[in-house]
Structure formats: structure tokens, C-alpha cells
Amino acid sequence: MVWKTVTRHFISRAPAPLTAEPALVASLRERLQAAGQARLGRSLAIRHVPAGSCNACELELRATQNLIYDLTQYGLSFTPSPRHADVLLITGVAGVNMVQAVQQARAAMPDPVLVIAVGDCAVDGGVFKGSPAVKGGAEAMLPVDLMIGGCPPAPVQIVQGLLALIEAHDDASAPPRPVVP
Amino acid sequence: MKLLSPQDWAAHKGKFIALWTDADHAYALYQPSELVAVKLEHGAYPALPHAGAGWFQRLAHDLNGHIAAGAADTRPAVDHGRNADGTGPWPEFSAPEVEGVHQVAVGPVHAGIIEPGHFRFSVLGEQVLKLEARLGYAHKGTLGLIRGKSPRLAARYAARISGDATIAHSLAFAHAAEAALGVTPPARAIYLRAIMAELERLANHTSDIGAMAGDAGFAFLDARFAYLRELICAACATAFGHRLMMDIVIPGGVAGDIAGDGAGAIRAALDAIEAELPSLTRVFEDYASLQDRVVGTGIVPLALAEAYHAGGYVGRASGQTHDSRLLPGYPPYETFPLYVPVEKDGDVAARIKIRLAEIPESIRLVRDMLASLPAGPVALLLPPESGHGLGVAESFRGPVWHWLRIESGSIADVFVADPSTLHWPLLEHAATTAILADFPLINKSINGSYSGVDL
């Protein structure tokens, strides 16, 4: 019965939203300040680029958008175009066959850009470290601002990592994003 | 294994599953599990005429440098000719020589959260005339990493050949290692593995059916099915300690027993799915706008499915009846009767119907297996012996085959055949039965693994 499901949704109370870990926020804030990076807003558009994953990270990234984790409630959303993105989210081992595509996606994004590596493979190559077909982690292609480990990281971990990034970034001392006339 | 002369090798009849090479031989696998080989002559072997052999022969060339003599398709598979810094030549694609045709390039970076691959469409107006899929972007050198390791150590790689089918690949790998070393895992492990495999099928079917509805613009079903998948993942995390149950199936058994409250968590998730599924299925069937998108879209003709010997929901939606749980079959499925749904329309709607019909079947299997779970140990030690073995497991996509040659307890050679290998050419055909805007829907309905074929 669809109406039952819909009714249940209307009368049920939403679960408490997730929050970022203070320690992670503090260390990220230091890092971002050191980089002197221009400030983005709190609502970030994410462009995901897979660089040779096994598709488990993609499954869990998709799960962050479901009814339980509801990534959109935090102002975070995935965008199909790098032109609209503030965050470049990389999964996978940085396979040699994907390096150019990742760099082109980054080049298509308007600055400033935050780069996130999600999953053990994107952190350092994971179990595939040492294979001649892989560069071994997103850092081998681009400077990375945040790494979210796990094989694959659970949706909770991914959401908390992204929230930490927002918190750390939401720092009034950083210069605001330049407005292009 | 049967060693054939080059003539007999090329003329061998049967339902082709996979082809690979090692240092001295080329191997071909036919249904149900007939393995034949031919000696390599100066690094070459006669090409096979089977429809599905193309990708395997291209892969054998790129990975091992062996040539399929007389092969029509010699395009690179995973070797994109990249330099150390990742730069390389721009790929070339041929278009049909018809006036007014133009090409649309998509990928390797896609719009959604999916794996990388390049699709080159040749279109006339909206109609797709030709689709060429260029894969290999997810190549990681997995087979090379498996060689030289013990089966227990190498199980980590098997679990990461295709993340959505991690149990099926781990299981096929374990079956192959156990066949090679002549061991039989404990009964409790066999049941736990089958329970995990059916849960994996449920998780993928629910999320993919929802995603297809989402691609057709129907967000309600997408949201509800994604919620059902989440229930399964949460139950798996409670029962086995990992949402996707990665690294739990190992050669010799399973890495850990089911948690004390695991069976209850799984049963509760199954009850919730069972309660909601009929109403969601009705929504699927009742909405004309949704049916309009899926009926008659992306047709895989029966003859083509037969020629490729397609497995899983892709084959079953086009009249194929085989299921590796029954043929060649592996325990514990001989104890549990299994109904395999079959449709004949071959379109997106038929593939959705098959997956909807497999959900209650898997729910029933998991419940029956949980109810009759044998007591005892869950793993045994593997002897450091030598031998070669084939292993199969039915993933949600179809049969996954692993082949291993083990020497003194360490893996000397390995090959992995994901069912997607035989499905990608069918996608290339199905896309030409529709307009360009229907492609995401068709692609999702076939849902080939990129990582599983790029290896």
C-alpha cells in the first residue's frame, strides 16, 4: 500500500542528523588555513570521478543519497558536470588509464576546488598498491584535501567526512570566493 | 582438462563461457564446465568463432601478448597505450557510412555515480545506429597481483574484482582453490556462504530496480528500493560485520561465524522487504508512463542471447534458462529447490520482471538456509599442495568463473570470467534498438560490471 508508506513518512520523526568529528574538523581547518584557500559556501556541489575502483565505493556513495543518510539535507549534492562542482571526489586506485580523464575533469572545474579521496584505493592504492597498472592513490594525480578511508567506507563515514570538510571550511578568516563579474 | 589439436580446438562445439592463456596453453571453457586447451605455437593460438570470444582474445593479447590467429577484432582491450604520465593517443572509432550520421562521445567520466567507460554512439537524429563501448578504464592488474600469493592472501583481490558481486567472486575463487587442493569446506560454511550470496543478490536487485525506475523519472520507487537495499546492508553489517560482506568468504570456509543476533536482523530485513514488495511491484505495473519507458526498450533478441550464452537476468529475460546454482551446480543448492524465472521479450521490462521474480525466491532461500543452518566449524586449513581447479558461483548478474593453478600452496596462474564480459556486446546491440535518451535506462537494465571485465 503506497498510501501507508506515504502516511508513515508524514507522521514519523526524522532521525537526528549526523555531525562531524571535532578532531577531524580541527586538523582539516589547520590544513585549509595553511593552504590559504579561498572560501566556498556551505552548500557544496560534488563531482564524482571513479579512477579505477571495484564499484563498491560507488555503491556506498550512492547510498549516501538514500532516505536514511539523505546527503542533500546538509546542503551537499552530486552534480553531473564538473563546471558546476566545488568538490572533486575521487574513488579508485588512480589507474594509468584514468589519470588523464581525472586531470581533465579537474581542469574543467572553476577554482577554488576541494579534492577528496574516498576509499582505501583512492587513499594509497589499497590492496592494489604496487601493480604497474595503477598510480596508487588520488594524491599521485592531484593534491588531495581530505581522505576518507575504508574498503569501502560506510555511508556514515562518507557523510561525516564531508561534514568535517564543511565545518573546517566555514571559517570567516578565509577570504570569500571571488565573484566573477 | 582436454588437450586438443589446433584443428579440433577451432572446431570445438559447445556453449562458450570464457577463454584465457597461460605461458604454454590457451584454454577455453564451455558449459557446463568443460575445459579444453591447445598448445601455443610461437605465442599464438587459433581464434575461436564463438560470439563471446572477442573480449577474451583481446584481453589475452593485452595481458599476456598472445595472438588469436585469424581473429576479426584486434582492438586493444585494457592497453590504452598510456605513457607514464597518463597521456596517450585519442581513440579512433568508425561510424556507419550513412548520410547524416554523427557521433556522440560519452565517458569515461559519466554523469552519475558509476564506473568509468567510454561509449561512442553513431546516431541518425535520435535513433542509435551503432554503439561502440570502449572499456579498460578500470584496469588494475588484478590477475598479476593474485599470482605468487597463497589462496588465503589472494582472496582479498578476488573480493575486489567487482564490488557489487564481492561474495560471488570470493565464492567462485574459493570453489576453484578448494577444487585445486581437493578439500571440502565444513557444512556450516557452505550454508553461510549461500546465505551471503542470496543477500548480495537481494541487495543488488532492490537497488538496481529502483535505479531503473529513477532513470525513467520515477523517484518514489527509487527511494523505496534504495531504502530496502539499506535494510539488507544494515542486516549484513550486524550479521557479518561488513555492509557488503567483503573478505568474509575465504578459501576453506568463511572468515567468521554469523553474529549471535545476525539471523534475527536478517529475518527482520527480509520481512520488511516482503511486506513492501507487492505494493512496489504494483506501482511498477500500474503506471502507464513508467511502462511506456521500459516495454519494448533495449531489446536483446533471443537468438543473440543464445549465441552469447548470456547468463543471469540478461539471459533469462531473453529465453535462456541456465543457472550455475543448478548446472553445474554447487552445494547447498541441491538441498533447496530453486525456481529460475524466464521471460522472452528481451526488453528492459522483461529484465525488471526477472529481477522482481528473483527477490521472493532469494528471500525464501535465505529463510530456509537460516532455519537449517548446520552446527560445527566454519573454516579449515588449506594444505600446501598443487593442482588446478575451476570454480563457479552465480552472482546476481550470472555465473562467475574462476580458474586457478596452484603449485605448492602458491597460485601459479589464474583467470577470472565475469558474466559482464558476455553482456557488454549485448548492450551494444540493445542500444541500437532505441533512441539515445533511452540509453541510461538500457545500460542500467543490463548493468555490466566495468571493473569485472577490465581486471
The boundaries of the domain holding residue B35 are 2-69
Question: Would residue A2 count as lying in a domain?
Answer: no
Q: Which residues of B touch A61 (CB under 8 A)?
A: 113
- Pairing, β B67-69 against β B2-4: unpaired
With CB atoms and an 8 Å threshold, state whether A54 touches B162: yes
Question: Would residue A35 count as lying in a domain?
Answer: no
| Cα–Cα dist B166/B229, whole Å | 16
Instruction: Please name the residue of chain A whose CA is at the shortest distance from the CA of residue B455.
Output: A54
Q: What percentage of chain A exceeds 70 in pLDDT?
A: 88
The number of C-beta contacts closer than 8 angstroms across A and B is 156
Average pLDDT estimate for B318-345:
93
The whole-angstrom distance between A157's CA and the closest CA on chain B is 13
Residues B43 and B171 in one domain: no
CATH number, residue B354:
1.10.645.10
**Count of domains in chain A?**
1
For residue A175, name the pLDDT band (cuts at 50, 70, 90). low
- A153 φ/ψ angles, rounded to the nearest 5 degrees: -65, 140
ipTM exceeds 0.85, yes or no: yes
Residues B60 and B151 in one domain: no
Question: Would residue B123 count as lying in a domain?
Answer: no
Check: CB of residue B141 under 8 Å from CB of residue A132.
yes
Instruction: Write out pLDDT tens, residues B414-448.
Output: 999 999 999 999 999 999 999 999 999 999 999 99
Question: Would residue A55 count as lying in a domain?
Answer: yes
| Cα–Cα dist B411/B168, whole Å | 20
Q: Which residues of B touch A158 (CB under 8 A)?
A: none
CATH number, residue A60:
3.40.50.12280
Question: Would residue A180 count as lying in a domain?
Answer: no
Question: Would residue B11 count as lying in a domain?
Answer: yes
The boundaries of the domain holding residue A138 are 41-169
**Count of domains in chain B?**
2
| Cα–Cα dist B208/B385, whole Å | 41
Residue A85: what pLDDT?
93
| Cα–Cα dist B145/B127, whole Å | 43
The full DSSP string for B155-187 is: HHHHTTSSGGGHHHHHHHHHHHHHHHHT----H
Nearest CB neighbour to A68, from listed B162, B230, B449: B230
Instruction: Please name the residue of chain B whose CA is at the shortest distance from the CA of residue A125.
Output: B140
Question: Would residue A131 count as lying in a domain?
Answer: yes
Question: Would residue B448 count as lying in a domain?
Answer: no
Question: Would residue B112 count as lying in a domain?
Answer: no
Check: CB of residue B207 under 8 Å from CB of residue A68.
no
Check: CB of residue B392 under 8 Å from CB of residue B32.
no
Question: Would residue B452 count as lying in a domain?
Answer: no
The full DSSP string for B39-94 is: E-BTTEEEPP--TTHHHHHHHHHHHH--EEET-S----SS-----TTS--PPP---
Instruction: Please name the residue of chain A whose CA is at the shortest distance from the CA of residue B159.
Output: A54
pTM assigned to the model: 0.94
Instruction: Please name the residue of chain A whose CA is at the shortest distance from the CA of residue B153.
Output: A127
In sequence order, the 6+-apart residues with CB closer than 8 A to the CB of B153 are none
Instruction: Write out pLDDT tens, residues B238-263.
Output: 999 999 999 999 999 999 999 999 99
Question: Would residue B428 count as lying in a domain?
Answer: yes
Residue B291: what pLDDT?
92
The whole-angstrom distance between A30's CA and the closest CA on chain B is 30
Residues B62 and B152 in one domain: no
The full DSSP string for B212-238 is: HHHHTT-HHHHHHHHHHHHHHHHHHHH
All cell numbers assigned to A32: 585549509
State the maximum Cα–Cα separation within chain B, in Å, rounded to a whole number. Answer: 69
| Cα–Cα dist B449/B165, whole Å | 9
Question: Would residue A176 count as lying in a domain?
Answer: no
Question: Would residue A4 count as lying in a domain?
Answer: no
Question: Would residue B16 count as lying in a domain?
Answer: yes
Q: Which residues of A touch B290 (CB under 8 A)?
A: none
Residues B194 and B333 in one domain: yes
Check: CB of residue A171 under 8 Å from CB of residue A33.
yes
With CB atoms and an 8 Å threshold, state whether A134 touches B140: yes
Nearest CB neighbour to A134, from listed B111, B141, B230: B141
Contacts 24+ apart (CB under 8 A), B304-309: B304/B51, B304/B426, B304/B429, B305/B346, B305/B426, B307/B51, B307/B52, B308/B51, B308/B52, B308/B422, B308/B423, B308/B425, B308/B426, B309/B15, B309/B16, B309/B17, B309/B31, B309/B52, B309/B422
Nearest CB neighbour to A101, from listed B78, B109, B111: B109
Residues B63 and B150 in one domain: no
